[in-house]
Structure 1
Amino acid sequence: MKIAIAGFQHETNTFAPAKADYDAFASGGAWPPLSRGAAMLQALSGMNLPAAGAIEEARSLGHQVEPLSWAAATPSDRVTRDAYERIASQIFEDLEAQRGLDGIYLDLHGAMVTEAHQDGEGELLRRLRDRVGPELPIVVSLDLHANVTPEMVDLSDGLVIYRTYPHVDMAETGARALRLLHRLMDAGPGRGPRYKAYRQLPFLIPLTSGCTLIEPADSLYGQIPELEGGGVATLSFACGFSPADIHHAGPSVVAYGESAEAAGQAADTLYESVAGQETAFAGRILPADQAVTYAVERSAKGDGPVVIADTQDNPGAGGNGDTVGLLAELVRQRVPDAVIGVLFDPANAKRAAEAGEGAELQLELGSHSGLPGHRPLSGTYRVKRVGDGVFTCTGPFYRGARMRLGPMALLEIGGVEVVVGCKKAQAADRDMFRHVGVEPEAKRILALKSSVHFRADFQPIASEVIVAAAPGPNPVDHLALTYGNLRPDIRLMPMGPTQAAHRG
């Protein structure tokens, strides 16, 4: 059968300092740049991305793949109106050229907010349905952090969501979505697993608490395959993306089955399991000074590096990756054998690369986003290594990603090393450090601008992982965010006050 495939990914933090314009999608960085047609197949080949997995699965099932357009940008504030309209238009323009389609697969995130639409994916699906009608099956893969909306459910025939965080199963999720699409196409109009069940949870989940390498998420996601089978085609749990200030932000469960009863029963069972773990989702986090002090004490045992997650400036959640609060604390405590990265500072990365190894520079490093109360870390920095920012990742999360981070440098101040780059990318792969001469396994302390994805490649070498609350635009405590669009009855933190009660 003939399947059209397209992708448009963005995770929107509406509290972040910078928006995603068209160039953010067109230029690439951690993920491939915007591509269309045959170039899309080449750009995604071999990568841990949903569309790549879907393409491979479609071909293995003997289907004909028709690539439309694929684009992704690093998480940030809203997608600009210009970027959204241009990329959506490209998808539909390429779709218009297709004839005789049997199905459509979309690689979306599920937490895209634009300057004009709270629900970027729902709007895209609405426009798509207007063009192809109600009968053509449309199946979508979504990120584990999707804010699933009623419109997404109503306008698609299947939503299939990642089951790991770190997202090591992105390609596999694309393949699972394609298998669902195959079942729908094979069954024909009005038949197959077309019954849907959708449930929204009543509380927001902090990003760091949804990690599937720890409880309660490990057990919750582990039970999903046990609930599938029989009349249940697929079952998903989305943790939601709390930094998106929209009406339908938050976790949800969605199921698809051969009957309304089968889908509903599976959704209810999983919903009750998640709701029963609300207290466990609260998590634990240390202030920056305590996190550094503890890391120094713990690292003295010498059984592997201690990892500190600089979660509140995570580029993977909309931060710019340029705050220096944790770096300043490492320097203040004169921490030996520590490295932090990847700090986003294009001007100083280029300046260091031009100066060359061994140069000493007076720099105002980081904190160039204009966030209130943030200042660069001034001082004398020694350039230890430089790189061109071009390398291929080998870790489980970024596997196969062909990085294009621009000139990079390894700087040193007060005995602490800092990896600086020209493009935003969360530190989720050891090759980001190896590129500038750092062997992560040999360090005592690794401070990473990431929330959870780093665990896929760094947790196996870590003696312990600590989550730090250094100053940044992505606070773990949602009570610190000034929401204006959330449902009034949703709790801002597990077992915390509702939005209505918090606003008074």
Structure 2
Amino acid sequence: MSKRPVIAVAGLACETSTFSPAVTLAPAFHPKRGDEIVERYEFLHADKPLGIEAEWKGALIGHALPGGIVTLEAFETLSKEIVDRLQVIVAENKVDGLWFDIHGAMCVQELDDVEAELLRRVRAVIGPGVIVSASMDLHGNVSRELAHMCDLITCYRMAPHEDAMDTKERACRNLVNILQGKEPGMRPLKAWIPVPILLPGEQTSTRIEPAKHIYAAVPDVEAEDGVLDAAIWVGYAWADEPRNRAAIVVTGWDEAAVSRGAEKLAKLFWDARADFKFVAPTGSFAECLDAAVKSPPEERPYFISDSGDNPTAGGSGDMTWGLTRLLERPEFKSPDSGYTVIYASVPGPKAIETAVAAGVGATVTVTAGADVDNIHAPPLTMTGRVHSIKHGDRDAVTEVVLQVGSVFAILTKLRKPYHKEKDFTDLNLSPRSADVVIVKIGYLEPQLYDMAKGWMLGLTPGGVDQDLKRLGHHRIRRPMWPFDEDFEKMPELKTVWIDKSNEPLSGPDV
């Protein structure tokens, strides 16, 4: 190709639980447009190799905090803008490629397999000849239709996702390499294998076995001659669509190598199905609190994951169940109890208004939480001293710490995940010197993991309940491990070759 290829960028990303009563609206995606997109990704900047080798044209991307199902209106509004902006880009340029920047576990009211639906609309604008490269979360879902409409498709190889930016850059690098190859625009072969396993991320962390050795095999497959990329998707467990399951996709030029690699990864995953365990010791919330109270000093701070309402897995984030149970504990009733306990977090816009008006040091009575998810517990009324106030957070907007007895409860105007030490120290809290830190999360993100001296995963209720069988899936394909443990017929786990044309698929989505 004599000139730099022109590559458009578009996509929507949101991990959404269909078991949460929350809904996600368009503003939650914080859309970025045009040059804002290139600015967001340093590896696309003009002084970086990818920025030098290709011309990147941003349409619209939107990344929402995980939550409840996306409203149809929000999706239609954002997808229409993506299409409109792509039409302008196509009118002004010969577009050679598209980077499809998605997560893969977005659910929209009245629609199934919405990433495939979005790409179908995008393809109608850019045409069948444009090479599309998708980057995804390993907790996304890859239907046959999505794999069909993409030419390249890859995902993270680490959970927690410390390689998110590496994966996005790899998707773009693979795209540029194809566009600038010996036969520019030649489409690779795509081997797709669905695997009938659906597990929560807290059982499939790459920190521990068996996911550790399964994902360690991905670079080995990718290193084979004739293989371009290899990827394993765990799938997303807290939504109920036919596409929800694990999947393997290997792309490349050598049919035998691509097929062999895909089947190797699928077999590794399937053979380990009974070996997946939770990433930390588990227990009921009461059992976790008992263990924390009894823990020796060298095991503190003792972290507890209030996992059922994890806002970064799709929980509403506004359940009060965990904080209510915590404040009922007699050990924490007094500020002089000898314990320092941090709880993150519960939204409460009206509670925030009251606390901000009263100021730091004031004693207030406020009610917070359960505006969205009151299935398991009602709004919580508590009286405490305002410990700190912070304005201007991207997610929370305003944060208040209320000390109730020896519990420092973080209240927010809007829901927010607490993953970094700075999230706490900015609120005049010291998690390293606390006795107990309770966070609405599943597996601990890296900074929390490094701080924790003790840790248990609380099997708490909510929209991302770790006990999948009690959620009530009824649309996933069966049999599916672990919903079904006795398979009358074992899955074949053989390569399904995805049609390289961009015509509609014929035949069932196997």
Same-fold call, TM cutoff 0.5:
yes
- Give the direction of change, closer, same or farther, for the CA distance of 1:330–1:237 in structure 2 (3 Å limit): same
Percent identity for Structure 1 against Structure 2: 26
How many pairs were matched up?
A: 471
* CA 245–193 in structure 1, closer or farther in 2 if over 3 Å, else same: same
Question: Which residue in the other structure is 2:246 paired with?
Answer: 251
Q: Which of 273, 278, 282 is the aligned partner of 1:278?
A: 273
Residue aligning to 1:9 = 13
C-alpha contact 1:406 1:422 (8 A) present in aligned 2:
yes
- In the other structure, the counterpart of 1:65 is 56
Aligned partners of 2:217 and 2:114: how far apart in 1?
30
Larger radius of gyration: 2
Determine if contact 1:386/1:408 at 8 Å carries over to the other structure. yes
- Answer with 56-65 or 94-103: which moved more: 56-65
Matched, 1:340 2:343: yes
- 1:401-439 alpha-carbon deviations (Å, 9 max, x no partner): xx3421110111121111111222222122221121112
What's the counterpart of residue 397 of structure 1? none
- 1:11 Cα deviation (Å)? 1.0
Deviation of 1:464 (Å) = 2.3
SS at match of 1:78: strand
Q: CA, structure 1 residues 3+190, in 2 after alignment: closer, same or farther (shift >3 Å)?
A: closer
Hey, what does 1:39 align to over in structure 2?
36
Report matched runs for 1:231-242 at 5 Å: 231-242=226-237
Decide which of 73, 77, 82 is 1:86's aligned counterpart: 77
Once the two structures are superposed, residues 434-458 of structure 1 have per-residue CA deviations (whole angstroms, 9 ceiling, x without a partner) of 1211122111211111112x32111
1:207 maps to 201
Unaligned stretches of 5+ residues in structure 1: 26-32, 47-51, 391-402, 499-504
Verify: 1:470 aligned to 2:471, yes or no. no
Superposition deviation, residue 219 in structure 1 = 2.0
Could you give the per-residue CA deviations for residues 34-74 of structure 1, whole angstroms, max 9, x where no partner exists?
Answer: 121123334x255xxxxx67998663552111111111212
- RMSD, aligned CA: 2.2
Gaps of 5+ in 2: 333-338, 489-510
Contact 1:53–1:172 (CA<8 Å) still a contact in 2? no
Worse overlay, 308-317 or 324-333: 324-333
User: Contact conserved, 2:45 with 2:51, CA < 8 A, in 1?
Assistant: no
Evaluate the alpha carbon distance shift between residue 61 and residue 198 of structure 1 in structure 2; reply closer, same or farther with a 3 A threshold: farther
Q: How does 1:343-354 map to 2 (within 5 A)?
A: 343-354=346-357
Q: Is the 8 A contact 1:205 1:494 kept in 2?
A: no
Alignment of 1:378-417 (within 5 A): 378-390=381-393, 403-417=394-408
2:283 and 2:457 map into 1 onto residues whose CA distance is: 6
Does the Cα contact within 8 Å between 1:306 and 1:464 map onto a contact in 2? yes
Task: Give yes or no for contact 2:354–2:366 (8 Å, CA) kept in 1.
Answer: no
CA distance in 2 between partners of 1:456 and 1:493 (Å): 30
Deviation at 1:385, TM superposition (A): 0.6
Contact 1:57/1:179 (<8 A) preserved: no
Q: Distance in 1 between matches of 2:487 and 2:343?
A: 35
Q: 1:488 aligns with which of 472, 478, 485?
A: 478
List per-residue Cα deviations over 1:340-394 (Å, max 9, x = no partner): 103222221232122211111122232232432412333312111111043xxxx
CA–CA distance in structure 2, aligned partners of residues 151 and 189 of structure 1: 26
Quote the Cα distance in structure 1 between the aligned partners of 2:271 and 2:383: 52
Match of 1:137 in 2: 131
1:13-28 equivalent positions in 2, closer than 5 A:
13-25=17-29
Q: Distance in 1 between matches of 2:44 and 2:291?
A: 41
Q: Deviations over 1:50-101 (max 9, x none)?
A: xx67998663552111111111212222211111111111111111122111
| 1:374 aligned partner | 377
Q: How does 1:171-210 map to 2 (within 5 A)?
A: 171-187=165-181, 194-210=188-204
Counterpart of 1:146? 140
The one-letter code of the counterpart of 2:263 is: D
Alpha-carbon separation, structure 1, partners of 2:246 and 2:452: 30
Equivalent of 2:440, from 449, 457, 460? Answer: 449
TM-score relative to the length of structure 1: 0.88
Q: Distance in 2 between matches of 1:257 and 1:192?
A: 11
Aligned equivalents of 1:496, 1:330: Cα separation in 2: 40
Residue aligning to 1:30: none
Which TM-score applies when normalising by structure 2? 0.87
C-alpha offsets along residues 463-503 of structure 1, whole Å, 9 cap, x if unaligned?
A: 122100223222111111122311122234484899xxxxx
Instruction: Tell me the amino acid that sits aligned with residue 391 of structure 2.
Output: D
Contact persistence 1:419–1:433 (CA under 8 A): no
Q: Give, in whole Å, the separation in 1 of the partners of 2:66 and 2:468.
A: 18
> Partners in 2 of 1:56 and 1:186 — Cα distance?
19
Native 8 Å contact 2:347 2:368 kept in 1? no
The equivalent of 1:502 in structure 2 is: none
Counterpart pick for 2:257 among 236, 259, 262: 262
Whole-angstrom CA distance in 1 between matches of 2:209 and 2:399: 36
Q: Which residue of 2 aligns with 1:126?
A: 120
Question: What is the CA-CA distance between 1:204 and the residue it aligns to?
Answer: 1.1
Residues 68 and 91 in structure 1, CA contact (< 8 A), matched pair in contact too = yes
Q: Secondary structure at the match of 2:27?
A: helix
Report the AA paired with residue 93 of structure 1: D
Question: Structure 1 residues 483 and 189, CA, compared in 2 at 3 Å: closer, same or farther?
Answer: farther
Q: Within the alignment, does 1:328 sit opposite 2:324 as a pair?
A: yes
- Match of 2:194, as an amino acid? Q
Residue by residue over 1:235-285, the C-alpha shift from the partner in whole angstroms, topping out at 9 and shown as x without a partner, is: 001111111110010111111011222211111101111112111224252
Give the whole-Å Cα distance in 1 for the aligned partners of 2:276 and 2:479: 18
Change in Cα spacing, 1:106 to 1:55, as seen in structure 2 (3 Å) is farther
Matches of 2:129 and 2:182, distance apart in 1: 9
Taking structure 1 as reference, are residues 483 and 232 closer, same or farther at Cα in structure 2, changes over 3 Å only? same
Distance 2:455 2:52 in 1: 42
Kept in 1: contact 2:318–2:372 (CA 8 A): yes
Q: How far did residue 118 of structure 1 move?
A: 1.1
Which residue identity is paired with 1:5? V
